[in-house]
A = this chain, B = another copy of it.
Amino acid sequence: MSDSINNRSKQILEAIIEDYISTAEPIGSRTICSRHGLPFSPATIRNIMSDLEEMGFLASPHTSAGRVPTEKAYRFYVDSLLAVGGVDKKEREKIRQHCTLTGKDVDRMFRDISRTLSSVSRYMGIVAAPSFTTNIFRHIEFINLGSNRILAILVSENGSVQNKIIESDQSFKSEELIRMANYLNGLLKGLSIAQVKKRVIIEMESDKSDYDRLLAGALRLSKQTISDSESEIFIEGQVNIMELPEFTDITRMKEIFSAFEEKGQLLSLLDRCITAPGVNIFIGSESHINIMSGMSLITSTFLSGKNTLGVLGVIGPTRMGYGKVIPIVDYTAKMLGKMLQSN
């Protein structure tokens, strides 16, 4: 038996993976023989399976169960075997429908998209815009709430709005706040948030701010406004994964849900994705996050023009329907990008 994977082995491996994806049950030689019209007898298939196991593509839960694909197998599958399909019409329609901003805010749209991803894929949808920093500053606004509290509203080029209530040690009149905002809007317009941060610091250190109380105040407020605020992750469709047979174990379930309530680990993973353009696939332990063992993540960055704005994707079991999900994620990211660009 040759060490390289020959054509026949590939066929069989593919058959096993696909069967396992749809049934979640270990596949035996007979089953495979009957379900797919392969021209080999069960005995032959057994031999091949034995080889595949040796090569690390298959594993057997125990001696007399069928075999189950390993992570290596899935990896091989998505890299070499899988023919990624398109997204079918109904689903495209549905995705497009939810990629609209009219009548909602950006956050709401992200949540909608996440929900759509989950309902189309039947797994969990995820949308994150972790680094607000690449966003372009458009507008800042201060509103007096009384008792030294100021509501700061920060609008970025793509229409997303962040607001934050800040406590100021000195009080400003409403007109003063307007003038401060005007000043900042002139100063910062068109800069990325990252640049804004730098610029604010530079201005604060300049002489001007020593003389002008308002100017100094404005800079101080803007600094507080811009300071990192936790980025949101929208995870939707958690119920979907409760239906999967691999998660019947309630403690496992709980672990996963806890991790998703935390979001921290997930965020770091998504941050890694944001630097890699296009579609990314993490199979099981490839994500190096132990909570993700047994689960796969398919992501894609979405852009507004040339700026990477965030990451979206689908989380499911390792035996997920890659062929269907990959194009869904890809398509959704592109639609969302198109949407965001057109402001």
Which A residues are within 8 Å of any B CB, using their own CB? 101-106, 138-139, 141, 143, 145-147, 149, 151, 153, 155, 159, 161-167, 224, 227, 229, 236-239, 242-243, 248, 250, 253-254, 257-258, 261, 342-343
Contact partner of A105 (CB less than 8 A), chosen from B104, B141, B163, is: B163
Chain B nearest Cβ from A316, distance in angstroms: 16
Further contacts, 20 of them, CB under 8 A, given A102-B149, A103-B165: A101-B165, A102-B165, A102-B166, A103-B164, A103-B166, A104-B165, A105-B165, A141-B153, A143-B155, A146-B343, A151-B159, A153-B153, A153-B155, A153-B161, A159-B165, A236-B261, A239-B254, A242-B250, A242-B257, A243-B254
Tell me which residues across on chain B come within 8 A of A153, comparing CB atoms: 141, 153, 155, 161
- 9 CB-based A-B contacts, threshold 8 Å: A102-B165, A104-B165, A104-B229, A145-B343, A151-B155, A239-B258, A242-B250, A248-B250, A250-B253
The CA-CA distance from A5 to B33 in the complex, in Å, is: 71
Tell me which residues across on chain B come within 8 A of A149, comparing CB atoms: 101-102, 159, 343
Tell me which residues across on chain B come within 8 A of A162, comparing CB atoms: 105
Chain B nearest Cβ from A148, distance in angstroms: 10
Q: Is the interface of A mostly helix, strand, loop or mixed?
A: mixed
Tell me which residues across on chain B come within 8 A of A103, comparing CB atoms: 164-167, 224, 227, 229
Closest partner residue, chain B, to A238 (CB atom): B257
Determine whether the beta carbon of A159 is less than 8 Å from that of B145. yes
Determine whether the beta carbon of B261 is less than 8 Å from that of A238. yes
Determine whether the beta carbon of B159 is less than 8 Å from that of A342. no
Contact partner of A143 (CB less than 8 A), chosen from B139, B165, B238, is: B139
Contact partner of A342 (CB less than 8 A), chosen from B147, B227, B254, is: B147
The CA-CA distance from A229 to B103 in the complex, in Å, is: 8
Tell me which residues across on chain B come within 8 A of A253, comparing CB atoms: 242, 250
Tell me which residues across on chain B come within 8 A of A151, comparing CB atoms: 155, 159, 161
Closest partner residue, chain B, to A141 (CB atom): B141
The CA-CA distance from A287 to B149 in the complex, in Å, is: 40
Chain B nearest Cβ from A327, distance in angstroms: 25
Tell me which residues across on chain B come within 8 A of A139, comparing CB atoms: 143
Determine whether the beta carbon of B236 is less than 8 Å from that of A147. no
The CA-CA distance from A233 to B258 in the complex, in Å, is: 19
Tell me which residues across on chain B come within 8 A of A257, comparing CB atoms: 238-239, 242
Closest partner residue, chain B, to A115 (CB atom): B261
Tell me which residues across on chain B come within 8 A of A163, comparing CB atoms: 105, 161
Knowing A342-B147, A343-B145, the reply to whether A102 touches B167 (Cβ < 8 A) is: yes
The CA-CA distance from A106 to B159 in the complex, in Å, is: 19
3 nearest A-B residue pairs (beta carbon): A161-B163, A101-B165, A145-B343
Tell me which residues across on chain B come within 8 A of A155, comparing CB atoms: 143, 151, 153
The CA-CA distance from A159 to B161 in the complex, in Å, is: 14
